[in-house]
Structure 1
Amino acid sequence: MKTPKGIVVALLILFGVSFVAFTTFKAKNDLTITQKQRLLIAIGQLLENEHYSPQKINDSFSVKVFNKYLTDMWADDDKSIFLQKDIESLKKYATTIDDEIHGTMPISFVPAVSTIYNMRVAETVDLYKSILSKPFTFTSNDSIVTNVDELDFPKNEADKKDRWYKKLKYITLTRYYDLQNQREKATVDSIKNKTDKQLEEEARQSVLRTENKIFERIKVKFSDDERFNLFLNTICNLMDPHTDYFPPVEKREFDEMMSNRFYGIGAQLTESDGNIKIVSIQNGGAAWKSGQLMANDIILKVGQGNAEPVDITGYDVTDAVKLIRGDKGTEVRLTVKHPDGSIKVVSLIRSEVVLDESFARSLVLNQNGKKIGYIYLPEFYADFERANGSRSSDDVAKEVKKLKEQKVDGIILDLRFNGGGSLYEVVQMVGLFIGQGPVVQVRDKDGNSTVLTDRDNSILYDGPLAVMINEGSASASEIFAAAIQDYKRGIIIGSRSYGKGTVQKNVPLGKPLDNFSGRTEYGAVKLTFQKFYRINGGSTQLKGVTPDVVIPDLYDYMKMREKDNPSALPWDEIAKATYQTWQDNYDRSALIQKENAAIQADTTFSLLNANTKWLAQKTDAPVQLNYQTFKKDQKQIVATAEQDNNLIKLKTPMDLQVLPQDKDTYYNNPDTAKGKRYQDWLKDRTKDMYIYQSAKVVSDMIDASKTQTAWKRH
């Protein structure tokens, strides 16, 4: 169908004005159908006109939305809620969703899905309760397919019943197996003397509680607005995996993640038996200052000032946190149940909570007479809302200076599982290790390329450098690793990175909620509008960064990279930028070849590679529901996984030392729980095989550099 014409900028301006005129919603801020239509149209035109590589929103795209939305529905990722006849009855919408997006038809698909979904969910609750009311026997030789790609929706009610019977039997069997192991190891008679029948019933009741919690959350949280938000996200995600719709609360959460600060009460929460429980109180936070909250308090309700409080029974921690956090200086009222059974309403004013455990930190490794600096950076954070806000490039620079004071011989920068962040910050950070020069190239949808350059000719650190990456290193991490690799400034170590080579920006929707946060009443679209390219011209999209020194790890065969997402944008390349590579005083290629040969000859990594490949194959294979067969398989799987975990842990811990100025953070922290987490993190690092291997490479770089220098002098 034809799309209404008009440029996006005009649409968004009109869209904002329209929402001012249509603010007829009640106190709960539920969107009316007219507002939903306006939101859908605006997002559709934004995607078609401003996305980096937009798909045409036509019948073909409509079918994709249709198929994806049905499997995105809560609790139906394994296609066990809907029946095939439900899908058939909904197929009349399969080629009209594009018309809804273009505003030429009213929104009909989501309400139609919801009607059937509500009915099937209610039936499913009755079904799983009926199945779990009777004991399972684990002597037959049946099996279950767990690979979702091999499943279709049940053909009919009988097929659905069989699907759920096997599903619940499998989950119960897993719990039963765990309980059997606990009984074998038990020293207490009350556990040792439990019969198989008692263990089966205990396992089954545990599964029942879990399913009750899942479906209670659907009832409590998966409202019509949540389903519509899911619909918008399905549409956005089909353009590419990183284009998202953020409702206002989700947008706030994204901003908090980027800046590593938020406004809340300063308490760590956990979920326990369907309740949200306080684990610990942060010193200096709003909860601590009130003196009215304590560990093990259960939060029953959350209210925004004088508004009606929301009962959070059945919520998970993520959903509860979204209600508890808010804007600076606003009031949140918690109805809490103390351990003594008393119930009290506690009023708190939200204050700033800084997530300093996500900031850069460093250690010194003493190995073979050398001092090697280690810097851990979990993300490229940036707080742009404040002039003195935390910036990852500034913090890494501080850590480098601290390490130079310790006279380290080389530095390791650990970017494993660093999912990225600010593009600006990565450009600044590359500049710490190179002179003036290009860092990354960025191209827009019209094919216009821009080179982002470090314009500071100074170099903070010019010594031996290694960068650790893995499958979880994405986006900004890949830009950094690629730049260091292209300049030959350091050696990249680990496994191939994630493969995200796209750039996003937030496009706000509706009126501003305040004058300082940048958030708006209908959230924002995080829109992919550019791709970035290495200075050598290649994209990191799909292919990621291949390390100079490749080390097998636990995640090599897991389907977790960009290439495993069907909506990912393709790889391509552009002209290379003009740059000069770093001139080492040793044969870099020979050293890399030597390190790779040593890794390939190491039986530890050969075994690890074989094990992880086997485990990946087992993950996709059908599971036998006969207990003896299952037990045999599980013993082999567990033994292999334990062997892998032992392979990547050093038997003799490394000598990793906290820097003098950081010792209080670890050993005299006023927040004892935080101090303990720092100490646990340090202990974990001392046994990390990959840090050890990276340090060996840096040590060889140091030795090669010294040898070459000595040879030249001679």
Structure 2
Amino acid sequence: MKYTRQLRHLLTPSLALSLLIALPTSAMTSVLQPEPIHQQTITDIVTSLNQDHYNRIVLNDALSSKVLDQYLESLDPSKAFFYQSDIDDFEQYRTLIDDEISQGELTAAYAIFNRYQERSESRLEKLIATLESPDYNVDFSIDESIVIDREDSQWAANETEMDEFWRKRLKSALLGLKIADKSIDEAKELLIKRYKSQLKRATQTNSEDVFQNFANALTKQFDPHTQYFSPRLSENFNINMSLSLEGIGAVLQSENENTKVVRLVPAGPADKAGQLKPADLIVGVGQGEEGEIEDVVGWRLDEVVDLIRGPKDSVVRLNIIPADGDDTQQKVIKITRNKVKLEEQAAQSKIIQLEHEGKPFKLGVISIPAFYIDFAALQRGDPNYKSTTRDTAKLINELKTEGIDGLIIDLRNNGGGSLREANDLVGLFISRGPTVQIRDPLDRVNIQADLDPRVAYNGPMAVLVNRLSASASEIFAGAIQDYQRGLIVGSQTFGKGTVQTLSPLHHGQIKLTHAKFYRISGESTQHKGVVPDVALPTMYDTDQIGESALDGALPWDTVSEIPHQRYINFKSILPALTSRHQERTKFDPDFLFMNAQIKRMHEDKQDKEISLNEKTIETERESSEQWLLDQENKRRTAKGLPAIKELSDLDDLLEKDSQGRTISPEQEALLNETGNVLLDMIELTNKYVAVKN
């Protein structure tokens, strides 16, 4: 576990990479200057932000200061290239950027970038020369360490300090590759190739790239979802959707010099393969079963995406650094490219049988991976068009014929989708009433409501959520909670409570946030998400995943509550439900396993430095692997299962679902415990005893 966290840093020497531009330039033949069109475009961007963005921000000295800091952060996040003297020089722009933008000027932006080019070019050439020198040797037996997160570090005061930083950074990169089974010569060759590739590709950096990066330093001050796209990237701006339709079904983003997995598209190729997880880092991409894996550290996001995408049914291999603590080294995974089929994202049902107070109960479970609707079929008048609400209604009817005692709506990992479907789905469980409020930049509030008095299911229900339940999922869960129609069980949701639109500019496009969701209680789902009535353990690191993990995310706030019906008063029984849950899971093998991992994860996060001693790293790696194996065998023994010798043995032992995905024991344990909580609720409220729908 501890080793995993170290390896992530060892394998990725901090070469700065902004969201949309290539890393450092080399062989810089000319000083980049803004093009005439950029002067008009920055004015257009400001106009769009002022007129259409939800967050009204004044263009003043305070904003200017924030833009400068953001721009420097985007260029050099690890303080690996700029010197303190450079930063001192840039102070002259701290309160001038707003004035320049107002006049369509970009002097500061290009002056700073050209200095960055100079520094990074020089440093990369020095790194290559060092690695190519026959006299360069590294001693991995020395007890020394390197700071993991340099956010609080000072800028290098001189070349001596910068050289020392890079000596350790280069050593950490070599050590990480050596631990990943590369010989020293192979590791050197890989790094030389990486740095030369960055230098070569950086020569393609043009004025458009600089402008886009600076423009996004401005837009990011409004919120993290607002972004400017140059004409080139506008043609392919929606990388998320392109991936979901033509590649592996993963939403990616740049994080410093790495490509990070944000979430997986339900029923997509990556989701089915079951090996790629949110917050994993992609550091290499290979084509086919045996093609050479190309190092992509320091690449632009769109270039990584181009490598990942390919013909349907072809294989892509990804070299990843796992985000969680279950795997303590980088690994290569295979995914077969395909398109996501609507029917594979459809809601599915099953029945789980639990015992409560000595009596058997049948609970229906409907898993909804996304809020979908087949608009094409709807528009052509197909009476059998598919949608989340229509499919769920059918499944409810099927479950009712089975005589279920309660219903669980499983929204785990559901990243959202159609607002219309979220509204209609709420309508299956209430007679009629408001479902969500939407406020625009002019403070006008639009109320969405269910107007259909028909109810598909009026029995006891619970909604299971986790950190990856977002947007439309949060609207549904929030409405069910506000109506007190059912219990919300799980972990705090993502907190995505904003709406974005894409608007054309004369030069490029701008995606900006223009509205915000509010529950009928008046509370926003933004930032805070939906807090469950009964909390379950979560393996997701909230510092890495969720709206609150994004810099500049819009805050949680409230509007007026809308009068609405309340079906059951859960407040009086919530303490008892929580107490029973805690008592029941106190010695449960799966919950003990999860809680031990969560504790270990938080402990590892406290480490601020990593060792550069190979023996220390290997010892920590072996200790981490042994700890995880011991925890797994402790769980298996408690469940009456035979122990395993290697963690890899689990792959053949765990059950698979209908699509071939591994069924995690932890996820099944969370579902069953949600069922137990629901049965407690039935007992304590006496509301639905013996009711069969």
Same fold by TM (over 0.5)? yes
Match of 2:225 among 207, 225, 242: 242
Indicate the SS of the match to 2:425: helix
Match of 1:543 among 508, 512, 528: 528
1: distance between equivalents of 2:637 and 2:486?
Answer: 25
Q: Partner amino acid for 1:241?
A: P
Residues 1:69 and 1:210: Cα distance change in structure 2 (over 3 Å): farther
2: distance between equivalents of 1:561 and 1:352?
Answer: 26
Say whether the 8 Å CA contact 2:369–2:411 is kept in structure 1.
yes
Indicate the SS of the match to 2:481: helix
Q: Partner amino acid for 1:534?
A: R
Say whether the 8 Å CA contact 1:135–1:201 is kept in structure 2.
no
> Where does residue 187 of structure 2 map in the other structure?
204
Indicate the SS of the match to 1:572: coil
1: distance between equivalents of 2:348 and 2:118?
Answer: 52
Residues 1:56 and 1:314: Cα distance change in structure 2 (over 3 Å): closer
2: distance between equivalents of 1:420 and 1:80?
Answer: 38
What is the count of residue pairs matched by the alignment? 578
Say whether the 8 Å CA contact 1:168–1:207 is kept in structure 2.
no
Q: Aligned-pair distance for 1:609?
A: 4.4
Say whether the 8 Å CA contact 1:438–1:454 is kept in structure 2.
yes
Say whether the 8 Å CA contact 1:648–1:689 is kept in structure 2.
no
> Where does residue 506 of structure 1 map in the other structure?
502
Query: Normalization by structure 2: what TM-score?
Result: 0.70
> Where does residue 149 of structure 1 map in the other structure?
151
> Where does residue 85 of structure 1 map in the other structure?
85
Q: Aligned-pair distance for 1:532?
A: 2.2
Residues 1:203 and 1:566: Cα distance change in structure 2 (over 3 Å): same
Larger Rg: 1
Q: Aligned-pair distance for 1:689?
A: 2.5
Q: Aligned-pair distance for 1:481?
A: 1.5
> Where does residue 72 of structure 1 map in the other structure?
74
> Where does residue 673 of structure 2 map in the other structure?
693
2: distance between equivalents of 1:603 and 1:120?
Answer: 56
Match of 2:602 among 597, 616, 631: 616
> Where does residue 135 of structure 1 map in the other structure?
137
> Where does residue 125 of structure 1 map in the other structure?
124
Residues 1:317 and 1:528: Cα distance change in structure 2 (over 3 Å): closer
2: distance between equivalents of 1:538 and 1:57?
Answer: 29
**Residues 234-288 of structure 1 deviation map (CA, whole Å, 9 limit, x = unaligned):** 21121112222344675666768569974x59999x9xxxxxxxxxx99xxxxxx
Say whether the 8 Å CA contact 1:419–1:474 is kept in structure 2.
yes
Residues 1:210 and 1:593: Cα distance change in structure 2 (over 3 Å): farther
Aligned ranges 1:84-483 → 2 under 5 Å: 84-102=84-102, 104-133=103-132, 134-179=136-181, 201=184, 204-205=187-188, 208=191, 211-212=194-195, 215=198, 219=202, 223-247=206-230, 257=240, 262=245, 295-296=288-289, 319=303, 321=305, 354=341, 357-368=344-355, 369-381=360-372, 387-388=378-379, 391-401=387-397, 403-404=399-400, 407-483=403-479
Q: Aligned-pair distance for 1:114?
A: 3.1
1: distance between equivalents of 2:611 and 2:572?
Answer: 54
Which is further off, 155-164 or 355-364?
A: 355-364
Q: Partner amino acid for 2:303?
A: D
1: distance between equivalents of 2:446 and 2:155?
Answer: 48
Match of 1:598 among 565, 568, 583: 583
2: distance between equivalents of 1:206 and 1:651?
Answer: 48
2: distance between equivalents of 1:114 and 1:598?
Answer: 58
2: distance between equivalents of 1:220 and 1:380?
Answer: 44
Q: Partner amino acid for 2:352?
A: L
2: distance between equivalents of 1:265 and 1:174?
Answer: 29
Q: Partner amino acid for 1:80?
A: A
Say whether the 8 Å CA contact 1:57–1:98 is kept in structure 2.
yes
**Residues 382-424 of structure 1 deviation map (CA, whole Å, 9 limit, x = unaligned):** 5657745864444444544554465544333232333334333
**Residues 34-62 of structure 1 deviation map (CA, whole Å, 9 limit, x = unaligned):** 22222211111221232222221112211
2: distance between equivalents of 1:569 and 1:147?
Answer: 25
Q: Partner amino acid for 1:81?
A: F
Q: Partner amino acid for 2:515?
A: Q
Q: Aligned-pair distance for 1:550?
A: 0.8
Q: Which has the larger share of helix?
A: 1
Indicate the SS of the match to 1:168: helix
Q: Partner amino acid for 2:502?
A: N
Residues 1:256 and 1:653: Cα distance change in structure 2 (over 3 Å): farther
Match of 1:484 among 480, 483, 504: 480
2: distance between equivalents of 1:586 and 1:573?
Answer: 21
Q: Aligned-pair distance for 1:489?
A: 1.4
Between 1 and 2, higher relative CO (CA 8 Å, sep ≥ 6) is seen in 2
Match of 2:659 among 679, 682, 690: 679
Indicate the SS of the match to 1:528: strand
Q: Aligned-pair distance for 1:548?
A: 0.9
Residues 1:565 and 1:299: Cα distance change in structure 2 (over 3 Å): closer
Say whether the 8 Å CA contact 1:52–1:528 is kept in structure 2.
yes
Identity of aligned residues (%): 32
Is 1:51 matched up with 2:42?
A: no
Q: Aligned-pair distance for 1:572?
A: 2.3
Aligned ranges 1:31-50 → 2 under 5 Å: 33-50=35-52
**Residues 205-237 of structure 1 deviation map (CA, whole Å, 9 limit, x = unaligned):** 376167448726852775542332222222112
Match of 2:489 among 466, 486, 493: 493
Q: Say what the alpha-carbon RMSD is for the aligned residues.
A: 4.7
Q: Aligned-pair distance for 1:68?
A: 0.9
Say whether the 8 Å CA contact 1:361–1:375 is kept in structure 2.
yes
Q: Partner amino acid for 2:99?
A: D
Residues 1:163 and 1:313: Cα distance change in structure 2 (over 3 Å): closer
2: distance between equivalents of 1:352 and 1:611?
Answer: 35
> Where does residue 11 of structure 1 map in the other structure?
none
Is there any run of 5+ residues in structure 2 with no aligned partner, and where?
1-31, 253-267, 270-286, 316-337, 380-384, 642-655
> Where does residue 518 of structure 2 map in the other structure?
533
Q: Aligned-pair distance for 1:556?
A: 5.2
2: distance between equivalents of 1:498 and 1:384?
Answer: 26
Q: Aligned-pair distance for 1:594?
A: 4.1
Say whether the 8 Å CA contact 1:132–1:168 is kept in structure 2.
no
Residues 1:132 and 1:383: Cα distance change in structure 2 (over 3 Å): farther
Q: Aligned-pair distance for 1:502?
A: 2.6
2: distance between equivalents of 1:372 and 1:353?
Answer: 30
> Where does residue 62 of structure 2 map in the other structure?
60
Residues 1:557 and 1:567: Cα distance change in structure 2 (over 3 Å): closer
> Where does residue 646 of structure 2 map in the other structure?
none
Query: Normalization by structure 1: what TM-score?
Result: 0.68
**Residues 464-506 of structure 1 deviation map (CA, whole Å, 9 limit, x = unaligned):** 3222222233332222221111111111111222333333333
> Where does residue 625 of structure 1 map in the other structure?
612
**Residues 138-181 of structure 1 deviation map (CA, whole Å, 9 limit, x = unaligned):** 232322111232223322222222112212222333343454xx
Indicate the SS of the match to 2:68: helix
1: distance between equivalents of 2:396 and 2:309?
Answer: 34
